[in-house]
Structure 1
Amino acid sequence: MVSGPSSTSTTRSEEGMHPGKLPGGRSVVYVIDDDESIRFVLNGLVRSVGLHVETFESPKDFLAFPKYDAPSCLILDVRLRGESGLAFQQEAQQCGVRMPILFITAHGDIEMTVKAMKAGALDFFAKPFRDQDMLDAIAHALKRDAERRESEHALATLREAYDTLTQREREVMKLVVAGMLNKQIAYELHLSEITVKIHRGQVMKKMGSRSLPDLVRKAEALGIDQKQPSSN
């Protein structure tokens, strides 16, 4: 059941004020709009499809609220009381808020839409909007955020693995992904070929790579220079 307007400034009482993962792996939709009736409508619409929603009257309240560890998106009104949604879009990025943004406005125009989209907005809706259009946009935004989070998690895991390598193993890895043979690496690092093989095996094990192409892909993700050292 959708609660009445008097209780829609936020749904924080449903899950509490503590950030973390939501039951059932649910995603979160945040809403910033100074119009209580719009917050009420979006609160009911989002909850009708089983998503968690948090609504706010101002950007300040949104920034102060601990964010959930879940795929998220933000529905943001362009014109807020005494503030600009477009300006807050930039502020949010500077504050590390990277979730997709869907803009809504009762005063939209082409110039405003172009500015919002160039700044990274995912979509733009004029009030009144069709419920299904909004739900489709939310689903797309949440999918994109889930993909971003998955990619960032994979990269963080990769960096943790790389951090376990010794300095020598990193040197060997760099030359391996540059395409050098063991005997070439041995010559370059003034090591025996047997020692290079041991280091190479440790690199493959610690990086969780079963093939050279996989190790090369991971090196690319880490930004490791794959150029062979120039011969003197």
Structure 2
Amino acid sequence: MDDTTGPFRVSRRTVLEGTAALAVLGSVAPEAARAATPAAPGRDASSSVRVPVTLNVNGLDHALELDPRTTLLDALREHIGLTGSKKGCDHGQCGACTVLVDGRRINSCLSLAAMHEGDRVQTIEGFAEGAALHPIQAAFVHHDGFQCGYCTPGQICSSIGMLAEAKAGMPSVVTADLSGAPRLSDVEIRERMSGNICRCAAYPNIVAAIKDGGGVGPDGEIAL
């Protein structure tokens, strides 16, 4: 009901108009305040920091200028052009991005490129010698250890790193005898490769390829 006799002459229409005006001012004021705030001295929002990083990948040095937040995986794929290492989950859970750093396998999606200055990085592109495949690569082909192939670079890199770990005497959680060199049974191989996921489920073929290409004997000893 309109009050047309009181000193303030309040009507329903004026109340609605005032509410709408307040809503508009409430949305505009924060934007205006942000626009009026001076930028911090020495900070340019349009530019980002770059750091010099030299990565030794497959025996070659690559001098890069990178955002310090760049992962090793993104440096390999986007800045060096080695796209064999795949970005799967990007959370270190699938193993598609596995590479070797100083002979040890790592998830490159979880490691910053700037951390690996002076390290020796090896990707799937660095194992073959010309047309001659690495024994593990050849075994994956022979045993059909892949279907879609997306996980295969990580599987092969992880296989090579895993074989080196086992040969050096590193046990796994399923190693029964800790007094001697681990024997790579199927159970051992599956456990050691459990960080590499194959959504096509080619696991039996992968295990067979690792045993063949890695020179694993019937008793689980590593011949190579």
Q: TM-score range by the shorter chain?
A: under 0.3
Provide the TM-score with structure 1 as the length reference.
0.18
Higher helix share: 1
**The structure with more radius of gyration:** 2
Provide the TM-score with structure 2 as the length reference.
0.19
Larger RCO: Structure 1 or Structure 2 (Cα < 8 Å, ≥ 6 residues apart)?
2
